[in-house]
Structure 1
Amino acid sequence: IACFLKNLISSLDFIMQRIPLIDISPLFQYPSEKDSVASVSKAIADACTGMGFFYCTGHGMSDAQISEAIGAARSLFELDMQQKQAMNSLNSPLRRGYTPQGGQHNCNPSENSKACMPDAKESYVLGAGPDMPKPPKNPVAEAAMNSCPTKAEDSNVPDQRPADQQGQAQGTGRELQGQQQNDQEPADAQSPMHGSNQLPPESVLPGFQGIMRSYWQQLLGVSQVLALGLAKSLDLPDSFFVSKMQDPVAQMLCVRYNMQAPPPSSGATHATAATQAPAGPDLGSGSDDRLLGCGTHTDCGFMTLLCSDGEGLEVCTPQGTWVAAPVIPGALLVNLGDMAAMWTNGRYRSTPHRVLLPRIPSSSSTSHAPSRVSLVFFCNCDFYAPVRAIESSNSEEGTTAGRYMLEKLGLMYK
């Protein structure tokens, strides 16, 4: 019996350290299929209180669409350096565009050392703005919006919008009650986190813009459906999160992790909320002595959807150990960020994670060493969406999604 119990406990420990896989297709049948929707919502709750990560299938995107987007990103990174530097993120007030390896981004700065190892990656950032699509027409989101009126619990969050927008429904980039916004007055006009992107010209990278815009819009739609599942998992009104994701402050980070880390460099800065992981393997290198392509951190926003063409991502379990997040073809990897953790009073985890550099096969020269490309889609809420811990006192003042993001990122916009 003792041996049986020991094996059972070991099996349970193994199961608890696996990232769950959730088929979210029943959410697309909302408001019908109530039992299936409830089952998916329960699975989301279990994942968000446990690992803080989950794979989702049944999202409506084909393997080919995901592979096409990853391929487009890889093609961008394979441009010559002069073409990439023409889109350098330093040219953008929102830091959109290309950042070379060893550049400004560092997920794991050391406060106790003058020298700091920059992330061993090059990146390209797209963000919400006039040259990227708005969320698609989404029957699930519309049904959720019509299911119940906007809750009054957000009334204690100061209205920080420009004076000519105050008094309108908060938490949206557009009018909530089915009214169409004037095409001459874009919803993002007053959002300092919306802006133009540095896109490669069609003559330089044919098809890139169309592929990325299509992928972007599809992920916005999936994010809204997941927002419904999150609301139901917390026993909140169905429209609670969807109503605040009508024109979200979204950003997509395209990353290529190369085979070698650059030498330590002083003066490196970071734009991601760095978090010390719980007790576990050394944070300066991977669990198998590989260097980190992206240091240990939590995401600072609301929700992240990720796809990749290679291994390397590791997630810190509630027990403080690291587990790999392998690529599952056709699945998106979902995790919540610091905003979601704050919003849920810590009930849902914002989980530390990191990326190990690709292995260099013994038969490969450094010029032919492998690289890993990831597309990381950060779907945050509308800039002026009110955010306040859902179980906090009614007298407790909240903030807005935009203000929260700006404070977390340490950016200033004029």
Structure 2
Amino acid sequence: MATARIPVIDISGEEDKAQVAKDLVEAAIEHGFIYIKNTGKDIPVEAVDEAFDISKILFKAPLEEKQACKIQQNNRGWSGMQVETLDPKSQRVGDYKEAFNFGPFTDNHASQPIPPTILPYEAQISRFTDYCYNLCLKIQTLLGVGLSVTPPDFFTTAHLRENGPSGTILRMLYYPPLTSTDASTSDVRAGAHSDYGSMTCLFRLKGQAGLEVQSREGEWLPVPVCPPGTENDPAPPILVNIGDLLSYWTNGLLRSTVHRVVFPGAEGRQPLDGERDAEEGRYSMAFFCHPVGSTKLTAVPSERVRSYVPEGETKALNPYAERKVMTADEHLQMRLRASYLQLYDDKKED
């Protein structure tokens, strides 16, 4: 069975930084997705396991606790089954998933209401968020080097917390098994979409596949949790993908690839080796990294970006490539309104 051919890159060492940066940029241009080999140096394996354990506790919390933390227009909080519709043009119903979005933490305390069931774990969630944030800064620095941006810390500086608030969130996700929903195998767990921000770090559990990316030819290709050569690693590699904002910022040079999550047994799809649909469902975590909200998305100071002219297929795949200066917050709000129709329609009636 054909699967997505996504490069695996190890960024844990300092040797040949220029080559690692070049490899990252080429993967971001060609695929939009990169496997980052998790050796435990950037994000300890134990921290990932701990975060998944907390996620399971969170989604098993009483419904009234989660409803009291319902998602708001600041994109923080709990969203229940079918609240979010990532592909409104094609989906008959909303996504078959629950999600909880965490905003920033201050002194290990959340800046938003969270269910009492997970209050004892605030420090652990905050620590995991910090690991993800620092990994993103490291990748952004390498992208700056690989693109010969002047200065090379251009992207990193734009994402520093001390420079202002941003739309960055940690999202924990739960996809219930097909047997506990009214869905059919023609439905999707998460509709076809591209991500909103600069980049996403995605964490998955072994045996819980379902993610697919759309090739340049329009074919849906499964993305293994453990690509060849990583099956015996202590943890699956972290899957990093370029978001719309970074693609927009680089004039479409870096690719924001459309992807979705399907049910096991989806029509026309064969299961991957080792894939299972456990009765407990599928869990994943995504860290969506955004620049400081007031950042103006002017052209990136890179000759390669300046000389790139999107055309044909590339322009069609990236509708955000057309230049228009807006802030990071404006870009995010544009996307949120399309995904959370109920949330914004409800507010109109207040």
TM-score, normalised via structure 1 length: 0.64
Q: Is the aligned partner of 1:200 residue 2:115?
A: yes
Mapping for residues 242-257 of structure 1, pairs under 5 Å: 242-247=156-161, 248-257=166-175
1:197 Cα shift? Answer: 1.6
**Counterparts of 2:324 and 2:92, CA distance in 1:** 37
> How big is the shift at 1:83?
2.6
Deviation per residue, 1:216-245 (Å, 9 max, x gap): 011111110000011112111311101101
Q: SS state of the match for residue 399, structure 1?
A: coil
Q: Please say if residues 132 and 213 of structure 1, whose CA atoms lie closer than 8 Å, have aligned partners that are also in contact.
A: yes
List aligned pairs for 1:24-39, cutoff 5 A.
24-26=11-13, 29=14, 33=15, 36-39=16-19
Q: Deviations over 1:150-209 (max 9, x none)?
A: xxxxxxxxxxxxxxxxxxxxxxxxxxxxxxxxxxxxxxxxxxxxx9322223xx236421
Contact 1:125 1:251 in 2 (8 A): yes
- 2:99 aligns to what SS in structure 1? strand
Mean CA deviation greater in 324-333 or 227-236: 324-333
Q: Root-mean-square deviation (CA), in Å?
A: 3.0
Could you report, residue by residue, the CA deviation over 1:341-375 in whole angstroms, capped at 9, with x for unpaired residues?
111111111000000124699xxxxxx72411111
How much does 1:95 deviate?
Answer: 4.2
- Report the secondary structure of 1:387's partner residue: coil
Check the 8 A contact 1:22/1:55 in 2, yes or no: yes
Equivalent residue number for residue 60 of structure 2: 78
Query: Matched residues in 2 for 1:61 and 1:125: separation?
Result: 20
Cα distance in 1, alignment partners of residues 253 and 115 from structure 2: 42
What is the distance in 2 between the residues matched to 1:108 and 1:67?
31
Bigger shift: residues 123-132 or 308-317: 123-132
Q: For the Cα contact (< 8 Å) 1:315–1:352, is it kept in 2?
A: yes
Q: Is 2:176 the counterpart of 1:258?
A: yes
Question: Take 2:265 and 2:128, find their aligned partners in 1: how far apart are those partners?
Answer: 29
Equivalent-residue separation in structure 1 for 2:18 and 2:170 (angstroms): 30
Shift of residue 398, structure 1, vs aligned partner: 2.2
Q: Residue 94 of structure 1 corresponds to which residue in structure 2?
A: 74
For residues 33-112 of structure 1, what are the structure 2 equivalents within 5 Å? 33=15, 36-57=16-37, 58=39, 60-89=42-71, 92-102=72-82, 104-110=83-89
Matches within 5 A, 1:156-305: 196-201=111-116, 204-205=117-118, 207-236=120-149, 237-247=151-161, 248-260=166-178, 289=185, 291-305=187-201
Could you list the structure 1 runs, at least 4 aligned residues long, displaced by more than 4 angstroms after superposition: 129-133, 261-264, 358-361
Q: Partner amino acid for 1:406? A: Q
Which residue of the other structure, out of 103, 115, 129, is the alignment partner of 1:127? 103
User: Which residue number in structure 1 is paired with residue 218 of structure 2?
Assistant: 320
Measured against aligned partners, the alpha-carbon deviations of 1:270-312 in whole angstroms (never above 9, x if no partner) come to xxxxxxxxxxxxxxx8xxx563100100012111001012211
What's the secondary structure of 2:154's corresponding residue?
Answer: coil
**TM-superposed deviation, 1:93:** 4.5
- Per-residue deviation, 1:405: 1.4
Deviations 1:22-52 (A, max 9, x none): 00113xx3xxx4xx11111111122111111
Contact kept? 1:199, 1:209, Cα under 8 Å: no
- What's 2:331 paired with? 404
Matches within 5 A, 1:349-368: 349-358=255-264
Larger Rg: 1
- In the alignment, the residues of structure 2 paired with residue 85 and residue 342 of structure 1 have an alpha-carbon distance, to the nearest angstrom, of 35
Q: 2:290·2:328 contact (CA, 8 Å) conserved in 1?
A: yes
Letter in 1 for 2:192: T
**What is the one-letter code of the residue matched to 2:169?**
Q
| Aligned counterpart, 1:22 | 9
Flag structure 1 segments of 5+ consecutive residues without an equivalent. 1-13, 134-194, 265-284, 362-367
Instruction: Give the whole-Å Cα distance in 2 for the aligned partners of 1:359 and 1:206.
Output: 37
Label 1:81 to 1:374 Cα distance change in 2 as closer, same or farther (>3 A): same
Change (3 A) 1:131 1:196: farther
Q: Matched residue of 2:224: which SS?
A: coil
Inter-partner Cα distance in structure 2 for 1:66 and 1:125: 17
8 Å CA contact 2:108, 2:123 repeated in 1: no
Distance 1:355 1:397 in 2: 31
* Structure 2: gaps of 5 or more residues: 227-234, 272-277, 308-322, 339-343
CA distance in 2, matches of 1:326, 1:290: 21
Query: What CA distance in whole angstroms lies between the structure 1 residues aligned with 2:78 and 2:195?
Result: 20
Aligned length: 293
* 1:341 aligns to 2:247 (yes or no): yes
C-alpha contact 1:303 1:337 (8 A) present in aligned 2: yes
